Structure 1
Amino acid sequence: MPEITHNFDKTLRVAMVAGEASGDQLGAQLMEAMIRRYPRIEFFGIGGPHMEARGLRSMVPQEKLAVRGYVEVLKHLPELLRIRNELRVSLIKSRPDVFVGIDAPDFNLPLEAKLKQAGIPTVHYVSPSVWAWRPERIQRIARAVSKVLCLFPMEPPLYVKAGVPVSYVGHPLASEIPLATDKEAMREQLALPKNAPIFALLPGSRMSELDYMAPIYIETAKLLLKKFPEAQFIVPLATRATRDRFDAILTRMKAWELPIRKLFGHAQMAIIASDVVLVTSGTATLEVALCKRPMVISYKLSTLTYWLVKHKLRLPYVGLPNILCERAVVPELLQKNARPEKLANELERIYHDKDYQEELSVLFDELQLRLRMDTSEQAAADVLQVAL
């Protein structure tokens, strides 16, 4: 255990907001690292089950913030604005020692700006993708934060140039996931057949992602089962709410006959046990890469949202493995190409291409070594420095 670097009698009050499952995991790890350095901390704000398990008093269910896309956000905008306004009033009144916004920039940055204006130090953990789209956001970020914590090495120079205090902390998954993973051992642990084709389906951690992607993935599984009669499918679902929604979609599609194994969380276990992964674009794509598994990345938005996003993109890729490797190393089937027939064909091709799988594993090893740092400890030191 790292040495505790502070021995103050004061109880530190830390407000945090994490808007989705990946932020909940980051927040939980950050909380643990902060407590190791400064044991007397009270955490409150908005978080998911991992943060709550480590002592966060969540004022609102995290699922209410997990909404994606312009059109989808508009449907929930009144409630989101109400939640953010009530949280702002509460935090300015209670005056925490520091506010940490974890990802969710559209929710957190305006809140951080108001808190900073009120004299409350603010840290934004996970830089928005200013290197991929809407680079003008850096000026907005500068007005909102006391410091930005970046997960990727190409990000800090952009903030330094704009005069924004910044720290590169690496990506926690790169240290958390071992360099070598054991497919056979994981299958044994999950009581899965040793030699059957196994596909992990990761339809997303948000309700709106499930609504778009789960039906497509289920249809893809039906097609794969025709190609691979012994195939099995693993679907990790981050929360009880997403598991219930997935079950409802299975029922609606009359797909209960599919050999699907659902896991409550445990995405890494599902990935490691699989031969190939079908994954919705987002942090999960990096998790698949670090587990050294081949993948097909897919994503689908409403037509209007997709049109708006597409015209702001600065890069030709949306998947983190392709962005970080600066070339198309894994296929991306998006929007009109996110069709079960195309997805099943690509997954079948990758399953049979062992040479490609080997090349990809070597490439992902190199990527993991570039991202490896003691992320949570570095982030904790930065947050405490701002707070104290």
Structure 2
Amino acid sequence: MIKPVKVIGIIAGEASGDLLGSHLMEALKRAMPDVRFIGIGGHKMQAVGMQVLFPMEKLAVRGYVEVLRHYCEIVGIRRKLQAHFCTNPPDLFIGVDAPDFNLDLELKLKERGIPVIHYVSPSIWAWRGERIHKIKRAVSHILALFPFEAPLYKKAGIPVTYVGHPLADMLPAVPNRAAMRVQMRLSMQNKVFAFLPGSRQSEVRFLAATFIETARLILQKLPEAIFLVPLASSETRRIFKEALWQCDGHDLPITILFGHAHDAIIAADIVLVASGTATLETALLKRPMVITYKMPALSWWLMQRKKYQPYVGLPNILAGKFVVPELLQKDATPENLRQALLNLLFDDQAVAELEAIFTDMHSTLRQGNAHKAAQAILPYLSGQNCAIK
């Protein structure tokens, strides 16, 4: 008797989710070669063979103001997805991060009897902790990337598995900065700064001018400094180049890279990075950093009222204290960023301490993520009862 092909609905809302989703899909295909995937994802998930229903870029918005601006379109996409999956029920649904979009859809699908996995714990430990009640109704199982998350879900009676973070499996334990400098034709004599203004268009728009002016101020102190700016898409490159022109920065020693963020971080002496997954990448690559972020004033005000912790950067959250500086919103001026970067750059003891902290962090997060996540999911495809792990 021929076994029916299993179909998995899966939705990722941004670049980090696309990476997570692609690795999970590959692990599931190794265990179940005929499995099919359908939903929303980026180029990496598509390369694994996913059937795309809507472009991922439609969901890649952040902050209250940006979401409100695109609200009708986003709700319309979710309504169409719900209709599709209710008419053509998958054997399993996986929501990859994007909780504001995925949880409402997951509620409806779970009510229809479809097993629901939510991959990446919503940050209930940072803000909006009341969401855990909705999560309990919406999901069959949570896959958590960070070790401190699993106890929160176990206490609430939600099946959970700590699977580690895929970046910890992907990135080298001991990056070779000298070799990367040779590969990128950069002298070891120069001070190299990696500037990462974010993967979203809105982030780059808010931060580009600030980053450019920060570079200009640093050059007043370090005329030999070089700046690498890796950008994730042709659109974010266009936005940054426009900002360079508007800031009269076309003569600055700024090299815009199409991708190659990890190469830039490894080659750099220090990193200026927008809050998000890139801060974890920088930590795992053992580089000192200054974290920054800007968003519309209303979005900032609303988020500040709801947050539980004094820090927003993942390295600080994982450490449970400020180990790297955060300069956010009004504090994110070129003058402040220049001073924070130079202070850290020339503090050898602080840099060595950060490297030790980041090495321990890497070891904790390296769990064989994709395999562990797939093993937690496979019982749901075979109809087995699944326990909290």
Q: TM-score, normalised by structure 1?
A: 0.95
Which structure 2 residues correspond to residues 219-368 of structure 1 after superposition, within 5 A? 219-368=213-362
Which of 168, 171, 179 aligns to 2:165? It is 171
Pair 376,8 (structure 1): closer, same or farther in 2 beyond 3 Å: farther
CA contact (8 A) 1:292 1:360 kept: yes
Distance 2:314 2:237 in 1: 25
Q: Which residue of 1 aligns with 2:154?
A: 160
Question: Are residues 64 and 327 of structure 1, via their aligned partners in 2, closer, same or farther at CA, if it must alter by over 3 Å?
Answer: same
SS of the counterpart of 2:126?
A: coil
- 1:160/1:261 CA distance change after superposition, 3 Å: same
Unaligned runs of 5+ in 1: 1-6
Question: Residue 115 of structure 1 is aligned with which of 106, 109, 115?
Answer: 109
Secondary structure of 1:261's match?
strand
Match of 1:201 in 2: 195
Between the aligned partners of 1:16 and 1:250, the Cα distance in structure 2 is: 38
Structure 1 counterpart of 2:198, one-letter code: G
RMSD: 1.5
Cα drift, residue 83 of structure 1: 1.1
Instruction: Sort the Cα spacing of 1:215 and 1:386 in 2 relative to 1 into closer, same or farther, 3 A.
Output: farther
Distance 1:293 1:27 in 2: 26
The alpha-carbon deviation at position 56 of structure 1 amounts to 1.5
Deviation at 1:30, TM superposition (A): 0.7
Alpha-carbon offset, residue 8 of structure 1:
7.6
Q: Does 1:132 align with 2:126?
A: yes
Cα 1:333–1:178 shift into 2, 3 Å: same
The match for 1:93 is: 87
Amino acid of the residue matched to residue 36 of structure 1? R
Number of the residue aligned with 2:376: 382
Counterpart of 1:38 (choices 13, 32, 52) is 32
TM-score, L = length of structure 2 = 0.95
Corresponding residue number in structure 1 for 2:385: none
Cα 1:161/1:221, change in 2 over 3 Å: same
State the Cα deviation string for residues 26-63 of structure 1 (Å, max 9, x = none).
11111111111111121121111111121122222211
Runs (4+) of structure 1 exceeding 4 A deviation are none
Aligned partners of 1:258 and 1:34: how far apart in 2? 47
Structure 2: runs of 5+ lacking an equivalent: 383-389
In the other structure, the counterpart of 1:3 is none
2: CA distance, partners of 1:236 / 1:59? 29
Between the two proteins, the alignment pairs up a number of residues equal to: 382
Structure 1 residues 384 and 264: alpha-carbon distance in aligned structure 2, compared to 1, 3 A threshold: farther
> Which whole-Å CA distance do the structure 2 matches of 1:387 and 1:240 have between them?
38
